[in-house]
Amino acid sequence: MDIQTTDIPNDPLWAWCRALLTRHAQNWPPQENVLAEAFVTSFGEGACHNLESLRELCARLGIEVTQRPMPADIRGHNSLYLSKRAIVLSAHQPLPGTDEHTLLHELREVIEHIFKELGFVTCRDSADLEIRAEMFAGHVRSEAFSRKLLVFFEHAKQIEAKWMRYGAYAVLGIGGLAYMFTCLFLPFVEDTVLKELNKRNVRT
């Protein structure tokens, strides 16, 4: 297959997708952790740190991000109208980190639309895209945090007292692994929490 060469002027997300296709066209589609690593490398781990930084990144990518009340089972959706991209997040997310995860999930679906326009889809159907978007969101957050964590470890090396230095290593290691685990398995945790809340609502 040949990559379509039509460019959209001043569209950094389109350019990023084109560059990714150039690198991986012979082994397409790449795994979601590969896409996530490339995304963090290109746009910076700082851009994936929290909801505010992600919203700023989306603004640079030409994507309008808003929040509004939605049904409990809908956490977000994306749209494209007359070349205008938009992502809407639920105003009532169940857990900390859900906003960031949902935004990245929707962004992955926007990316898939560009891949489709270029003739290189990564998903068989919408169900497959849902799975891959969940994986992408988790991997982006985990990858961005792991790079921040390396900086913290470098700072910890400067601690002169050995017991304090090793204590810092332990705290960073255990806390970092727990956070990355949460990033990767947040959808499962969300579903568990929502099911429990629904059970309590039925009882009351």
Q: State residue 81's pLDDT score.
A: 82
Percent over 90 (pLDDT), the chain: 53
Q: What is the mean pLDDT of each run of 10 residues along the chain (204 residues)?
A: 49 94 91 96 92 96 94 88 89 85 96 94 94 95 86 73 75 71 72 59 56
Q: For residue range 10-34, list pLDDT tens digits in order.
A: 799 999 999 999 999 889 999 999 9
N- to C-terminal Cα separation, the chain? 58
Query: How would you classify residue 12: left for phi > 0, otherwise alpha for psi between -120 and 50, otherwise beta?
Result: alpha
Q: State residue 182's pLDDT score.
A: 77
Q: State residue 2's pLDDT score.
A: 40
Q: State residue 186's pLDDT score.
A: 75
Q: Tell me, which fold does domain 12-144 have in CATH? A: Arc Repressor Mutant, subunit A (1.10.10)
By C-alpha distance, which of 50, 86, 80 is closest to 67?
86
pTM of the model: 0.83
Distance CA 203, CA 11 (A): 51
Q: For residue range 161-174, list pLDDT tens digits in order.
A: 777 877 776 776 77
Q: State residue 121's pLDDT score.
A: 94
